[in-house]
Amino acid sequence: MKATLATRSNSRLVSDPPIAKFLFNSPKSAPIWLVLRLWIGLDWFYAGFEKMVGTGWLDGGKSLLGFWKGAVAVPTTGKSPITYTWYRDFLTGLIDAQSYSWFSWLIVLGEIAVGLGLIFGCLTAVAAFFGTLLNFSFMMAGSASSNPMMFGLTIFIILAWKNSGWWGLDRIVLPALGTPWKAGYLFNRSNSDSANGSNQPRTPKEVPLS
């Protein structure tokens, strides 16, 4: 009876289209994600590097302060860059607290880290997530530029987290570290060695990503 109910339940599920299975679950789509990763990653890395070697960011954050002041300004005519009052209040609080002096470091190093993570395919989904967070923050402050396009494309990299870094370091890193819901072989080995009371090194088995 249970088997019959399970079969009926499974038969009602809507399966993914072949293109979704290919893009988000098949390592064969890795070349596509590699090109997208390199494009977006180089863009992020260059943006951060340009700020790092330039002026107004790591030498006090005056450029960030100018950006924030322009964002929170309410013009007498026309539309304000910021749509939501709570976000304007948030930026105003950061300005009053002179947080631009350290927040500029966070932005510069964050952009470089996101770029390197995407370029080398290391913790790709994590790097992509923080990339979308930066895009979201810039868009909330009224800066469009390339942020909407990068935000949308990076969402697809997150959705393809299992194989977007297959042609990259994630092919080694993800099986080793695992996920929050399933530990990788490094942690399994440690737990197994502790349970057996053995300190002898063991050769890890390859763990497929999909």
Q: pLDDT digit string (tens) for 72-108?
A: 998 888 788 899 999 999 999 999 999 999 999 999 9
pLDDT band at residue 207 under the 50/70/90 scheme: very low
User: Are residues 114 and 131 in contact, defined by beta-carbon separation less than 8 angstroms?
Assistant: yes
Distances (CA, A) of 145 to 74, 100, 158, 171, 202: 20, 22, 22, 33, 51
Mean per-residue pLDDT for 32-54?
A: 97
Asked if the model's pLDDT at residue 120 lies above 80, the reply is yes
Measured CA angle at 99 (ends 94, 100), to 5 deg: 100
Q: How far apart are the C-alpha atoms of 171 and 162, rounded to whole Å?
A: 9
Q: Output the pLDDT for position 79.
A: 85
Q: Per-residue pLDDT for 210 more than 50? A: no
Task: Give the tens place of pLDDT for each residue, 2-14.
Answer: 555 555 555 577 8
Confidence of residue 196 (pLDDT cuts 50, 70, 90): low
End-to-end CA gap in the chain: 32
Main-chain dihedrals φ then ψ at residue 86, nearest 5 degrees: -65, -30
Cβ count near 133 (within 10 Å): 14
Judged by average pLDDT, the poorest of 28-42, 65-79, 108-122 is: 65-79
pLDDT, residue 2, reads 55
| Cβ neighbours for 169, distance < 8 A, ≥ 6 positions apart | 120, 121, 122
What percent of the chain has pLDDT above 90? 72
Residue 156, pLDDT above cutoff 50? yes
Q: What span, in angstroms and rounded, lies between the C-alpha atoms of 61 and 56?
A: 5
